[in-house]
Amino acid sequence: MLDPNCFRGELHNTATKLKKRGFDLDIDTIERLEEERKTLQVKTQELQNLRNMRSKAIGQAKAKGEDIQPLLDEVGDLGEKLKDSSEQLENVQDSLQSIILGVPNIPHEDVPEGNSDEDNVEVRRWGTPKTFDFQVLDHVELGEKHQGMDFEAASKITGSRFMVLKSEIARLHRAVIQFMLNCQVEENGYQEVYVPAIVNQDSLWGTRQLPKFEGDQFSLEGEHGYYLIPTAEIPLTNLVRNEIIDASQLPLKFVAHTPCFRPEAGSYGKDTRGMFRQHQFEKVELVWIVKPEESFAALEKLTQHAEIILQKLNLPYRVVTLCGGDLGFSSTKTYDLEVWLPGQEQYREVSSCSNMLDFQARSLQARYRDPETGKPELIHTLNGSGLAAGRTMIAVMENNQDEQGKIHIPEVLQPYMNGLTVIG
């Protein structure tokens, strides 16, 4: 959530900045509620002060053995008034809060104008899409050719948007994950973390999937109010919830491999073919916890760390900056990595790297102690996929096929395939 001060003196400025992402701030309502809040809060606190003083006086009188009855009479209807006032205050604060919780992060000034992914701006390209002098197969055809993908089995076992992988393809999938994880741990200095794939509501509030995006998670039956994670960003970022971190510990760089679960509501008819968009998929996630002044430099590094994976796999890709309208709720700036898929003849998303500034940290109450002032300050959080495993595997399959439909294993993956160089 945004700093409450964004809704006081800064209100009009905030509203202007939010327009970039197509968000309309209800200025009039906020101004009215703020006014009421101020009056009621001052009044309530005065009454509390009065109560505290009276109670104290009663305590002192009793200690001296004096008669406290006159003092008790004096209290009168103070309790009623206080209750009344604090209830009103609570109502106003709830109204304000529910507005504020629905307000997304302010886009960074670098973020391009625009409404949809068509307005995203390409930053750079790496590699050149190979030209094939034969009819390329997409990953579904390749997978079925090698008896490595069984979508019918998956829909029998569960339903649509699930998959069964077998044999070398299943192993290739695992190889991609191991490779990515090892690379981030051994070469880029990440701390490997194993986390729960089921989280409680507090964690979802912390990273702001709740209250606004309840429908984007699978919730579990039972009295716990648990959810399946749509991304490891949630458990990883919540590691620092309610913590005051020593400045010397920063930056924290976490990497984890987890399954991710997404209902994909609202994407009917989109990417229905193959394993591009699934209800369950594997992902290696990168999360940084940094000092505020370091977060934009961190975003560049984090993005590079995701890119290195694609480079080592020799997969052509491009990097785009998301425009205001395409930006995620909590992000101030996001780079998407899009890998070339010969089967679709287009660049498709395999990673999304975002700087959340203090937007999540505020609801997480995640802070560090500033050595200068000795005071706790909100940290900044960042996250990015490094990378989505299934989509990366698709790209490996499609980009490394030959005329016979054989899949050539990239060198860096061969050690994870027991030395296998080609499938088929």
Give catalytic residues, as residue numbers: 262, 277, 349, 352, 391
In the bound state with RNA, the residue whose beta carbon lies nearer, of 313 and 361, is 361
415 sits near RNA (criterion: CB under 7 A): no
- Pick the stretch among 72-80, 101-109, 257-265, 283-291 that binds RNA (CB under 7 A): 72-80
CA dist 373 and 375 (Å) reads 5
55 sits near RNA (criterion: CB under 7 A): yes
In the bound state with RNA, the residue whose beta carbon lies nearer, of 96 and 382, is 96
> Which residue in 11, 31, 32, 48 binds RNA (CB under 7 A)?
48
88 sits near RNA (criterion: CB under 7 A): no
- Pick the stretch among 146-154, 277-285, 374-382, 416-424 that binds RNA (CB under 7 A): 374-382
Q: Which of 261, 255, 327 is nearest to 108 (CA)?
A: 327
72 sits near RNA (criterion: CB under 7 A): yes
- Pick the stretch among 39-47, 130-138, 166-174, 292-300 that binds RNA (CB under 7 A): 39-47
> Which residue in 13, 16, 19, 42 binds RNA (CB under 7 A)?
42
> Which residue in 12, 13, 26, 56 binds RNA (CB under 7 A)?
56
> Which residue in 79, 189, 259, 415 binds RNA (CB under 7 A)?
79
Assign 175 to helix, strand or coil: helix
- Pick the stretch among 59-67, 115-123, 176-184, 305-313 that binds RNA (CB under 7 A): 59-67
Q: What track of x and - describes contact with RNA for positions 107 through 136 (by CB under 7 A)?
A: ------------------------------
Residue 354's DSSP bridge partners are 334, 383
Amino acid at 280: Q
For β-strands 191-192 and 333-341, DSSP reports them as: unpaired
- Pick the stretch among 57-65, 105-113, 171-179, 281-289 that binds RNA (CB under 7 A): 57-65
Q: What track of x and - describes contact with RNA for positions 307 through 336 (by CB under 7 A)?
A: ------------------------------
Assign 194 to helix, strand or coil: coil
In the bound state with RNA, the residue whose beta carbon lies nearer, of 378 and 394, is 378
Q: Which residues contact 419 (CB under 8 A, 6 or more apart)?
A: none
| 233 burial type by CB count under 10 A (0-12 exposed, 13-18 middle, 19+ buried) | buried
Min CB(213)–RNA separation in Å:
23
Assign 133 to helix, strand or coil: coil
Token pair for 58:
């009663």
> Which residue in 173, 262, 301, 367 binds RNA (CB under 7 A)?
367
Assign 367 to helix, strand or coil: strand
Min CB(163)–RNA separation in Å:
25
Assign 48 to helix, strand or coil: helix
- Extract the runs of DSSP E, i.e. beta strands, from 93-185: 121-126
- How large is the C-alpha radius of gyration of the chain? 27
> Which residue in 46, 94, 110, 345 binds RNA (CB under 7 A)?
46
Q: Are 119 and 323 in contact (CB under 8 A)?
A: yes
CA dist 335 and 337 (Å) reads 7
In the bound state with RNA, the residue whose beta carbon lies nearer, of 36 and 119, is 36
Q: What is the DSSP letter of 215?
A: G
What is the CA angle 361-363-366, rounded to 5?
Answer: 40
DSSP H helices, 23-101, are: 27-63, 69-75, 78-101
CA dist 15 and 241 (Å) reads 29
> Which residue in 22, 31, 75, 125 binds RNA (CB under 7 A)?
75
Within residues 220-259, the interface with RNA by CB under 7 A covers 223-224, 244
Min CB(82)–RNA separation in Å:
8
CA dist 106 and 6 (Å) reads 10
Site size for RNA, by CB under 7 A? 31
Q: What track of x and - describes contact with RNA for positions 4 through 23 (by CB under 7 A)?
A: x-------------------
174 sits near RNA (criterion: CB under 7 A): no
Q: Which residues contact 225 (CB under 8 A, 6 or more apart)?
A: 200, 201, 219
64 sits near RNA (criterion: CB under 7 A): no
CA dist 335 and 300 (Å) reads 9
- Would you tell me which residues interact with RNA (CB under 7 A)? 4, 38, 41-42, 45-46, 48-49, 51-56, 58-60, 62-63, 68, 72, 75, 78-79, 223-224, 244, 367, 374-376
